[in-house]
Amino acid sequence: MATILDGKKTAEEIKGEIEEQVKQIKAQGGKVPHLAAILVGNDGASETYVNNKVRACEKVGFESSLLRFDENISEEELLTVVEEVNANDDIDGLIVQLPLPQHISVEKVTDRIRPEKDVDGFHPENVGRMAKNLPAYIAATPYGILQLLKRYQIETKGKHCVVVGRSHIVGSPMSILMAGSGYPGDATVTLCHRYTENLEEFTKRADILIVAVGIPGFVTADMVKEGVIIIDVGITRVEDASKKSGYRLKGDVDYEQVYPKSSFITPVPGGVGPMTIASLLWNTLLAAQDAVYSGIEVE
């Protein structure tokens, strides 16, 4: 029977650890970590994500600031806001909620954030440091996946890890991290994407299969081998008349089919999702302690 990688439970454990560290900081008269979030427009999903992050900050004892702007804000105006946050020593971490309006370049905005405050891990300097196996802020979802593997003591050394999806937010960084030295890591990695021919030939050989394509039920039982470790990053609303809401959440892996063949598997919801916010909080704690760029080890 597969072991369920309980992201919700693990995320609560991490938040509890962070909360304890914040209590110690306060007791010693230290600076409380402060996370700022920029939200542009009125996208419903973005509102939910940001509000969840603000509530998570409150729960662990962080300070938080939500900077809201109309969707018509100009790119230059938004870049000015980013510079103002960069210069504010009271703010330790800054995230810009995506997506942004089409007239604003995501790359320009994320590149303008100071690497030391880039707790989302999207700045080229953090991506480059990660690729060189140097201390860096790692994007929250990949970092959350690493923590799940670590806390469930899943062996990765020498294993064949197949990553399906090559986004800059999940797929690409996961392939780099799993191939990197250390634990979790030291795996042999294959990165697949929409143009990969005979995809199932690769997924069937995976000891660890990480799927992030945004297509509900994409991976089926005939695409995996017995004993596979499944990390399902996808989460999509699908119609379900039996639900009061009229929909249910479904991952990129057909859970009911694949579960019997798995040794470990993440559920959707309750798997990777909760780990993302917990990892963002952890990055913010590191930023407040200047732990990444100063080389301080924090466990």
Domains of the chain, residue spans? 29-131+276-288, 140-273
Same fold, 29-131+276-288 and 140-273: yes
Q: Where are the extended beta strands (E) located within 17-146? A: 34-40, 63-69, 93-96
Query: Which is the CATH superfamily of the domain at 140-273?
Result: NAD(P)-binding Rossmann-like Domain (3.40.50.720)
Query: Which is the CATH superfamily of the domain at 29-131+276-288?
Result: Leucine Dehydrogenase, chain A, domain 1 (3.40.50.10860)
Give pLDDT, residue 298: 40
CA-based R_g, the chain, Å: 19
Q: In a 3-state reduction of DSSP, which class is residue 45? A: helix
Q: What is the mean pLDDT of the chain?
A: 94
pTM: 0.93
**DSSP conformational letter for 253:** B
Enumerate residue ranges in the chain where pLDDT < 50. Answer: 295-299
Active site residues: 53, 97, 120
Select from 209, 219, 168, 165 the least CA-distant residue to 187. Answer: 209
Mind listing the pLDDT tens digit for each residue in 117-142? 999 999 999 999 999 999 999 999 99
Torsion angle defined by CA atoms of residues 26, 275, 135 and 291, in that order, rounded to the nearest 10 degrees: 0
Asked whether the beta carbons of 189 and 172 are under 8 A apart, the reply is no
Give pLDDT, residue 60: 98
**How far, in Å, CA of 294 to CA of 297, rounded?**
9
